[in-house]
Amino acid sequence: MEERTAMSFRVSGNEIWVLDQRALPQEENWLPSKTVNDMIGHIKNLVVRGAPLIAIAAVHSLAQLAEQGASKEDLLLAKKVLLLSRPTAVNLANAMHSLVSNGTEPDPEHIAKAAAKLFDDDVAMCERIAENGAALVCQGDGIIHHCNTGGLATAGIGTALGIIKRAHEQGKRIHVFVDETRPLLQGARLTVWELEKLGVPYSLIIDSISAVYMERGEIQKAFVGADRIALNGDVANKAGTFNLAIVCRHFGVPFYVAAPITTLDPYAYAGASIPIEERDAEEVRGYQGPGEKIFWSSKNCCVRNPAFDLTPNALVTAIVTDVGVYSGREIKSGCLEELSQDILPTC
Amino acid sequence: MEERTAMSFRVSGNEIWVLDQRALPQEENWLPSKTVNDMIGHIKNLVVRGAPLIAIAAVHSLAQLAEQGASKEDLLLAKKVLLLSRPTAVNLANAMHSLVSNGTEPDPEHIAKAAAKLFDDDVAMCERIAENGAALVCQGDGIIHHCNTGGLATAGIGTALGIIKRAHEQGKRIHVFVDETRPLLQGARLTVWELEKLGVPYSLIIDSISAVYMERGEIQKAFVGADRIALNGDVANKAGTFNLAIVCRHFGVPFYVAAPITTLDPYAYAGASIPIEERDAEEVRGYQGPGEKIFWSSKNCCVRNPAFDLTPNALVTAIVTDVGVYSGREIKSGCLEELSQDILPTC
């Protein structure tokens, strides 16, 4: 495979290494991924996370397997189980769709090239999203951000957080309200870590306090990422996005979704057809850091823990992509459906 | 002092014991409170919490000091520091206002009797709130509840959670959505613990996912408590209440606030004049259970951590008190101001 390095992903020869995002910010541990099973474990356990990075990591895992001389049958099976590892992130499906198919014999070099291209495309897409999005940020803006959408979630500078990085570099005096993003605390652990490295002023807040700062006029915009976007503009993203969008609407705070156009699901007309992954109750019952698992509620208490939610298009001010910014009005008049023609896999 | 026992508070002779709510549900530790300083520590550290119980505990602490033969000066000072221990809970101020004053010599027996009466009144108020509120609950209701408002927060069966208990006893088939209530997880730790004891069906959810269940039609009502209510009906309550009220409004889910009438602040015309306590950043940076403190974000990260927020009267469907249920319309036409005449301390 071609050599590539991102903030939390490295490939060199036949080796893949991933930064264990569960241990951040306390520890920076790089873990090897020697097999497809390793990678599935890393994705399921959130060692690797972020819709764009999941796709890049999974395709490299497939390229690694092909280089190791796997048969077509093995590659087809590997593709299938990789696709099931995080059912909501659509980039994964988009990226893998035509790479290994029944019809043709697998070509390791072709798959490796496709993996490297996916990486490079993501870097470039992040840059374009950042450019497009930073134009929406004004001098002095307070920006609320959900989950982690930065260099840790992509091969490049990130999506929503890439926009924030770019606006900061442009000299816009911004302040980021980082919501902690329960249950897995990607905001508190990862976004804070990235913003500190970038030197962007921020305040960490609990997820449920955003209204206070919107009412005080301290928040002018919201930027979030997306795991999958339906053709009608409904957005599947990390649990907590829908509540945030409602609070933004209440105060008239523009709510922007930033994602590469590959996040569009050409097979989902509306959000209702997007599968929402329900994760382990233990994520809510306590905390699993690098050390021992801690429970704060009773160990068998009843929990409902969807990993994602669906924000209806009506609450989305605009979707910021690498190929343009699409307003709620444009989305309503079907622009995403038109765009989807370009990314529909030809199969 | 007269003997009294509540779920998390016991008094006998000159002894006061409090159940350490920080260690629940893992451990049930009763801690002594031998001095006013002990009690201030217990209140500040949330060993004792819940606006009604804070007032009861503080007044008993004053009664304990009086029994120990303290001078008027000592009692006045003790009253002053106790009042500062949790600035947002108004029951404390209401309860202590006329108990120790400059004018008269302190009478230990009088203070002890007042403390016991406060306890008994709270038990009775909880019962009346439960009766008034349970009438609003329908067969099959899904109810969302924030923080902890049960037997742990009062001398009686609680406020919002007392209503839920009563509705359950009346045979109404209800399901409670318990939001975990970051940062101190009173929902996950305490409300789950109480509901399990009561046998009421519930699901623990993260604070930011309520919209998902409202959209699916699984939540018909919200019941929360209050730490202080302004005369215009603005409600100071645990951080996260305002966001929840906005989400309820978005879906047309009635939002009920349950509290004894003593939660009314006769000196606050609107919410803006209620002081909001900002608590330690460490509460958000990690978790402090019975064991070692855990950090999940960087140890020095910037945090904003108001303990309470203000829900404007416009988002409140009704306030359920021990003396009646007051609709948003009645509140707008000034009913709370009239009621406040009865509880204004005569000084």
pLDDT beyond 50 at B61: yes
- Does the CB of B255 have a partner CB in chain A at under 8 Å? no
Look at residue A74 in the predicted model and tell me its pLDDT.
94
The secondary structure of chain A, three-state, reads CCCEEECCEEEECCEEEEECCCCCCCCCCEEECCCHHHHHHHHHCCCCCCHHHHHHHHHHHHHHHHHCCCCHHHHHHHHHHHHHHCCCCHHHHHHHCCCCCCCCCCCHHHHHHHHHHHHHHHHHHHHHHHHHHHCCCCCCCEEEECCCCCCCCCCCCCCHHHHHHHHHHCCCCCEEEEECCCCCCHHHHHHHHHHHHHCCCEEEECHHHHHHHHHCCCCCEEEECCCEECCCCCEEEECCHHHHHHHHHHHCCCEEEECCHHHECCCCCCHHHCCCCECCCHHHHEEECCCCEEECCCCCCCECCECEEEECHHHCCEEEECCEEEEHHHHHCCHHHHHHHHHCCCC
Q: Which of A208, A210, A300 best probes binding to B when mutated, by most B CB atoms within 10 angstroms?
A: A208
Look at residue A347 in the predicted model and tell me its pLDDT.
43
Look at residue A21 in the predicted model and tell me its pLDDT.
93
Q: How far is A231 from chain B (nearest CA, A)?
A: 20
Residue B252 burial class via C-beta count within 10 angstroms: exposed 0-12, middle 13-18, buried 19 and up: exposed
pLDDT band at A318 (very low <50, low <70, confident <90, very high): very high
Share of chain B above pLDDT 70, in %: 99
- Interchain proximity B206–A25, CB inside 8 Å: no
Pairing of strands A318-321, A324-327: antiparallel
- Lowest average pLDDT, out of A37-41, A172-176, A275-279, B317-321, goes to A275-279
For chain A, the average pLDDT equals: 94
- Interchain proximity A180–B182, CB inside 8 Å: yes
Q: Which residues of A touch B304 (CB under 8 A)?
A: 203-205, 209, 213
- Interchain proximity B295–A26, CB inside 8 Å: yes
Q: B6 with B19: CB under 8 angstroms? A: no
Q: Which residues contact A15 (CB under 8 A, 6 or more apart)?
A: A32, A34
Residue of A nearest to B306 (CA): A209
Rounded average pLDDT over B107-134: 95
| Residues B162, A167: Cα–Cα separation, whole Å | 50
pLDDT beyond 90 at A237: yes
Quote the pTM value.
0.95
Q: Which residues of B touch A310 (CB under 8 A)?
A: 212
Residue position matching structure tokens 């779920």: B7
- Does the CB of A250 have a partner CB in chain B at under 8 Å? yes
- Does the CB of B322 have a partner CB in chain A at under 8 Å? no
Pairing of strands B15-19, B30-32: antiparallel
pLDDT band at B93 (very low <50, low <70, confident <90, very high): confident
Q: How far is A41 from chain B (nearest CA, A)?
A: 22
Within a 10 A sphere around the Cβ of B317, how many other Cβ atoms?
Answer: 20
- Does the CB of A182 have a partner CB in chain B at under 8 Å? yes
Nearest to A90 by CA among A252, A268, A216, A243: A268
Task: Encode burial over A126-153: b for 16+ CB neighbours within 10 A, e otherwise.
Answer: bebbbebbbebbeeebbbbbbbbbbbbb
- Does the CB of B87 have a partner CB in chain A at under 8 Å? no
Of residues A294 and B344, the one with the higher pLDDT is A294
Indicate the residue of A188, A294, A309 with minimum beta-carbon distance to B209: A309
- Interchain proximity B185–A297, CB inside 8 Å: yes
Q: Which two tokens stand for residue B101?
A: 């004053």
pLDDT tens digits along A15-66: 999 999 999 998 999 999 999 999 999 999 999 999 889 999 999 999 999 9
- Does the CB of B314 have a partner CB in chain A at under 8 Å? no
- Does the CB of A166 have a partner CB in chain B at under 8 Å? no
- Does the CB of A209 have a partner CB in chain B at under 8 Å? yes
What one-character DSSP code corresponds to residue B291? S
Catalytic residue among B227, B234, B265, B322: B227
pLDDT tens digits along B271-304: 999 989 999 999 999 998 877 889 999 999 999 9
pLDDT tens digits along B140-194: 999 999 999 999 999 999 999 999 999 999 999 999 999 999 999 999 999 999 9
Within a 10 A sphere around the Cβ of B13, how many other Cβ atoms?
Answer: 10
Look at residue B345 in the predicted model and tell me its pLDDT.
54
Beta bridge partners of A236: A228, A310
pLDDT tens digits along A200-212: 999 999 999 999 9
B141 tagged catalytic: no
| Residues A212, A208: Cα–Cα separation, whole Å | 9
Indicate the residue of B193, B206, B298 with minimum beta-carbon distance to A284: B206
Look at residue B234 in the predicted model and tell me its pLDDT.
98
For chain B, the average pLDDT equals: 94
- Does the CB of A211 have a partner CB in chain B at under 8 Å? yes
Q: Which residues of A touch B244 (CB under 8 A)?
A: 208
φ/ψ (deg, to 5) at B15:
-100, 140
**Complex confidence, ipTM:** 0.94
Q: A231 with A340: CB under 8 angstroms? A: yes
- Does the CB of A192 have a partner CB in chain B at under 8 Å? yes
- Interchain proximity A180–B284, CB inside 8 Å: yes
- Interchain proximity B243–A247, CB inside 8 Å: yes
Q: Which two tokens stand for residue B283?
A: 């509460």
Q: Which residues of A touch B186 (CB under 8 A)?
A: none
What one-character DSSP code corresponds to residue B272? G
Residue A80 burial class via C-beta count within 10 angstroms: exposed 0-12, middle 13-18, buried 19 and up: exposed
CA atoms within 13 A on the CB side of B54: 30
Q: Which two tokens stand for residue B264?
A: 């009314």
Angle at the Cα of A199 (from A194 to A200), degrees rounded to 5? 80
- Does the CB of A25 have a partner CB in chain B at under 8 Å? yes
| End-to-end alpha carbon distance in chain B | 26
| Residues B246, B259: Cα–Cα separation, whole Å | 20
Look at residue B94 in the predicted model and tell me its pLDDT.
76
Rounded average pLDDT over B317-346: 89
pLDDT tens digits along B229-250: 999 999 999 999 999 999 999 9
Q: Which residues of B touch A280 (CB under 8 A)?
A: none
Look at residue A345 in the predicted model and tell me its pLDDT.
54
Amino acid at position A341, single letter? Q
Question: Which positions of A are catalytic?
Answer: 227
Share of chain A above pLDDT 70, in %: 99
Indicate the residue of A182, A196, A303 with minimum beta-carbon distance to B207: A182
pLDDT band at A106 (very low <50, low <70, confident <90, very high): confident
Q: Which residues of A touch B212 (CB under 8 A)?
A: 239, 242, 306, 309-310
Look at residue A344 in the predicted model and tell me its pLDDT.
58
* CA dihedral for B296, B298, B304, B305, sign (positive or negative): positive
pLDDT beyond 60 at B92: yes
CA atoms within 13 A on the CB side of B4: 28
Q: Which two tokens stand for residue B3?
A: 């003997």
How many CB pairs below 8 A link A and B? Answer: 173
